């Protein structure tokens, strides 16, 4: 049987005059009919491929991707994710899925059609529990991870995949974390195993809506565990965030899987051999999760606050606009622009994602005994000056070498 592509080539190469006695209208009609058949065959083949891909996801989740089950746990299986539901808290205890490279080209639009999960025997939360509650319906499996398959994406809108998150978290740093995972898949072309959930405990408050139908607990924290388990060098990392607005980038909330296990009581990846499980669950190496091409490649964590008196990290710089302050961080890149006649030092994150940068104008170059464009890269430094803002990014203009100190020296001298 000829492939779809080869048939298209064949039709393109056959001259219209070879269609015999048919007139042009008949020739066009016949080609259109053939094209419609080929498109239908293409849809059937794509559906069959997707079905096989989804079956592989479910197989591999069952094989190595699920946390250890506890007494009373029932695994709910959907097209591309699995979960255990907590009836007591009316939300999932955890949800496991695999983000695959197909998400790179997936272009299905959000459906925003939330509904109860008929597979949960005890029933799930419903729209009345969330509507006008002040909390977002936070997807634990992001719908964007499943934009390559409609059935998989629809399942992410079931209330068995939803937990109440404050809007500032759900639309802020948590969304950045989800994008962080997709970037790794995109630029590495590797899939990741992900387990996400609220940190549930007795005594959590519930959403007090007058028309509520269920008592939905409001988590104080959320966790996400990510692992690349394919190949002979598996690795893992985890994140924990408070259910509140978070100022720092996702990298600042990275922790070991071991610490999440201690925090939640959940045993992740028990199907792995003990040596592998112990090794990857002790990992916390954010730099290993930035593949070449990632626009955030090379970013580092902002210095942990509080810093010594009178010093602030790059995230805090925005609170000192118009003031003279000392801002500290890691110079991850530099660039010299001919047009602006200046050297730009980007702190903690690469341009244009940095939270803070320092500027050295060309006419101040002679005030340095070294080349700041080269010497300061990859160093933790502190710069002192008036904090201004340009294009919503705080900055300090450095006039001379005395306004720059290596961080260790600055801390040691205080």
Model confidence pLDDT, tens digit, residues 234-266: 999 999 999 999 999 999 999 999 999 999 999
> How buried is residue 150: exposed, middle or buried, by Cβ count under 10 Å (0-12/13-18/19+)?
middle
Residue 72 has pLDDT above 70, yes or no: yes
Q: Is 352 helix (H, G, I), strand (E, B) or coil?
A: coil
Strand-pair partners of 397: 359
Q: Is the peptide bond before 352 cis (omega within 30 degrees of 0)?
A: yes
Residue 225: pLDDT band with limits 50, 70, 90: very high
pLDDT-wise least confident of 144-158, 177-191, 327-341? 327-341
Give CA torsion, residues 58, 61, 67, 70, to 10 deg: 30
Token pair recorded at residue 253: 């909330």
Token pair recorded at residue 211: 């028309």
Residues 6+ apart with CB under 8 A from 313: 302, 303, 304, 305, 307, 327, 328, 329
Q: How far apart are CA 241 and CA 222, in angstroms?
A: 5
pLDDT score, position 338: 83
pLDDT score, position 185: 97
Burial of 378-407, coded b for 16+ CB within 10 Å and e otherwise, reads eebbbbbbebeeeeebbbbbbeeeebbbeb
pLDDT score, position 412: 77
- What percentage of the chain has pLDDT greater than the value 90? 86
Residues 6+ apart with CB under 8 A from 336: 342, 343, 344, 373
- What percentage of the chain has pLDDT greater than the value 70? 94
Task: State how beta strands 81-86 and 75-77 pair.
Answer: antiparallel
Residue 4 has pLDDT above 90, yes or no: no
Token pair recorded at residue 5: 């592509």
Give CA torsion, residues 168, 225, 58, 267, to 10 deg: -130
Burial of 181-199, coded b for 16+ CB within 10 Å and e otherwise, reads bbbbbbbbebbbbbbbbbb
Which of 132, 139, 129 lies closest to 89, judged by CA? 129
Residues 6+ apart with CB under 8 A from 275: none
Burial of 238-274, coded b for 16+ CB within 10 Å and e otherwise, reads bbbbebeebebbbbbbbbbbbebbeebebebbeebee
> How buried is residue 326: exposed, middle or buried, by Cβ count under 10 Å (0-12/13-18/19+)?
buried
pTM of the predicted model, to two decimals? Answer: 0.89
pLDDT-wise least confident of 38-47, 65-74, 324-333, 353-362? 38-47
For 268, phi and psi rounded to 5 degrees? Answer: -90, 145
Residues 6+ apart with CB under 8 A from 331: 345, 346, 347, 376, 377, 378, 379, 381
Q: How far apart are CA 250 and CA 300, in angstroms?
A: 11
Q: How far apart are CA 99 and CA 182, in angstroms?
A: 7
Which of 241, 403, 273, 239 lies closest to 327, judged by CA? 403
Residue 170: pLDDT band with limits 50, 70, 90: very high
Residue 413: pLDDT band with limits 50, 70, 90: low
Residue 152 has pLDDT above 70, yes or no: yes
Q: How far apart are CA 345 and CA 376, in angstroms?
A: 8
Residue 414 has pLDDT above 80, yes or no: no
């Amino acid at each position: 049987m000829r492939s779809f592509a080869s048939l298209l080539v064949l039709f393109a190469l056959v001259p219209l005059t070879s269609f015999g006695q048919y007139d042009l209208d008949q020739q066009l009609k016949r080609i259109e009919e053939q094209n419609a058949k080929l498109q239908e065959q293409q849809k059937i083949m794509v559906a069959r491929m997707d079905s096989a891909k989804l079956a592989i996801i479910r197989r591999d989740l069952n094989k190595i991707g699920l946390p250890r089950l506890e007494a009373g746990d029932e695994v709910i299986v959907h097209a591309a994710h699995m979960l255990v539901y907590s009836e007591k808290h009316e939300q999932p205890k955890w949800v496991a899925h695999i983000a695959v490279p197909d998400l790179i080209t997936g272009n299905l639009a959000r459906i925003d059609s939330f509904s109860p999960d008929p597979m949960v025997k005890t029933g799930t939360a419903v729209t009345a529990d969330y509507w006008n509650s002040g909390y977002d319906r936070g997807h634990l499996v992001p719908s964007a991870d499943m934009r390559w398959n409609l059935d998989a994406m629809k399942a992410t809108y079931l209330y068995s995949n939803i937990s109440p998150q404050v809007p500032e978290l759900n639309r802020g740093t948590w969304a950045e974390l989800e994008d962080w995972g997709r970037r790794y898949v995109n630029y590495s072309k590797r899939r990741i195993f992900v387990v996400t959930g609220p940190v549930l405990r007795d005594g959590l408050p519930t959403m007090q809506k007058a028309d509520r139908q269920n008592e939905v607990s409001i988590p104080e924290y959320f966790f996400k565990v990510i692992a690349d388990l394919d190949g002979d060098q598996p690795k893992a990392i985890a994140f924990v965030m408070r259910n509140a607005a978070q100022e720092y980038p996702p990298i600042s909330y990275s922790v070991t899987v071991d610490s999440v296990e201690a925090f939640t009581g959940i045993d992740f990846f028990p199907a792995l051999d003990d040596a592998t499980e112990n090794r990857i669950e002790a990992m916390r190496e954010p730099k290993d999760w930035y593949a070449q091409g990632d626009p955030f490649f090379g970013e580092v964590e902002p210095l942990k606050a509080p810093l010594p008196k009178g010093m602030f990290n790059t995230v805090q710089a925005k609170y000192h606009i118009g003031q003279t302050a000392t801002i500290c961080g890691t110079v991850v890149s530099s660039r010299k622009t001919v047009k602006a006649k200046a050297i730009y030092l980007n702190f903690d994150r690469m341009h244009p994602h940095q939270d803070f940068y320092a500027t050295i104008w060309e006419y101040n170059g002679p005030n340095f005994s070294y080349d700041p464009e080269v010497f300061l890269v990859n160093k933790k430094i502190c710069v002192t000056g008036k904090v201004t803002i340009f294009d919503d990014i705080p900055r300090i203009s450095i006039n001379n070498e005395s306004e720059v100190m290596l961080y260790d020296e600055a801390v040691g001298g205080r």
